[in-house]
Amino acid sequence: MNVINKINKLAEVQSSKIGNGTSIWQFSIVLPGAVIGENCNICANVFIENDVVIGNNVTIKNGVQLWDGLRIEDNVFIGPNVTFTNDPFPRSKKYPETFLKTVVGARASIGANATILPGVHIGAEAMIGAGAVVTKNVPPHAIVKGNPGVITGYVDTFQSSVKFDSIEEGDGVANLSNLGVGGCVLYQLPLVHDMRGDLSVVEYEKHIPFVPQRCFWVFDVPSAEIRGEHAHKTLHEYLICIKGSISVVVDDGAVRKELVLDRANIGLYLPPKVWRVHYKYSPDAILLAFASTAYNPSDYIRNYEEFTTYLKERREI
C-alpha cells in the first residue's frame, strides 16, 4: 500500500491527483483525469471516470460508479450501489459533445440504491433516502424519498406545535406566538361562529403588523410541489391558509422550524431576511398572502447559499 494514500494492491488507480490520507479499496478503478481530495474513503468496486472531482472527507461505499461531469463537494456520504447518470438520451457508441454536470453539495448524504438523473444539483446537507429516484434539483437541507423523489421534510428542522388559548366569539384581539425564528410571529385571529357560516377578520396594523400594498393567493398546487424557497431583503409578508392545509418552513440562518397552517383564522407574519418554504399542500389548499410592497424582483433572494452569505455580510448569523 501507498504510505500517504492507502491504495489497495488490487485497485487500479491511474490518477496522480489524490489527496493525502485517502483510502482506495480493492477492485476500484480510478481513471487518469479524476481528482480526489484528502481523507476520502473509496470502498471496493467503485469506478471513477476522468471528468470527476471529489472534495475532502468524502465517503463512497461499494458498487458506485462516478461518471464524467460529476462534482462531489466536501463531507458527502454516498451509500452502496448509488447510481449516477450523465446522458439524458443514451445510445450505444453515440456520445454528447459535453456531459451534463451533476453536483452533490457539501455534507449531503445519498442512501443506498438511489438513482440520480443527469444535471441534477443536490443542495448542501440534503438527505436522499434509500432507493429514491431524483429527477430534479434538491434544495439545501431537504429530505427526499420515493420514485420519483419528493421532499418529505427538512434536516434539523424543529416541528413547531403552537396551542393557543381559546378566543371568545367576536373578540377583536389576536393571540400571538413568537416562533423564535428571525422575528416570525403566529397570530390566532378573531373567529366568529354562526350557523350561517364562520367568519374571521384581519385589521391592518392591528392583526397584521404593516399596511399591505399587495395581495395574492396560491391554489391548485400539486401536493408534491414546493413553493416559496426564497427570502426578502426588505419586504414583510403575512400568510393565511384560508382553506385546506400547508406546511411552512421558516429559517433565519441559525434556527429552522416547520409549522402547519390548517385553520382560516391563523396568520403567519414573516419579516424580511427569513427564508421560507411552502410545501405539503392539501388538494384543496388556498394560501392567501399579504405583502408590504409592490412586486420587486430585486428584493428576492432565491438561492439559499446567497441568503446565508447576505446574512453573514450583515453579521446577522
Find out whether 58 and 71 touch, Cβ atoms under 8 Å.
no
Q: How far apart (Å, rounded) are the C-alpha atoms in residues 76 and 64?
A: 14
Q: How far apart (Å, rounded) are the C-alpha atoms in residues 281 and 268?
A: 16
The one catalytic residue in 230, 232, 236, 278 is 230
Q: How far apart (Å, rounded) are the C-alpha atoms in residues 282 and 246?
A: 6
Whole-number Cα distances in Å, 23 to 37, 39, 83, 193: 11, 7, 21, 68
Active site residue 230: yes
Unique residue bearing C-alpha cell 414546493? 226
Can you spell out the DSSP letters for 211-258? --SEEEEEE---TT--EEEEEESS--EEEEEEES-EEEEEE-SS-EEE
Residues labelled catalytic: 230
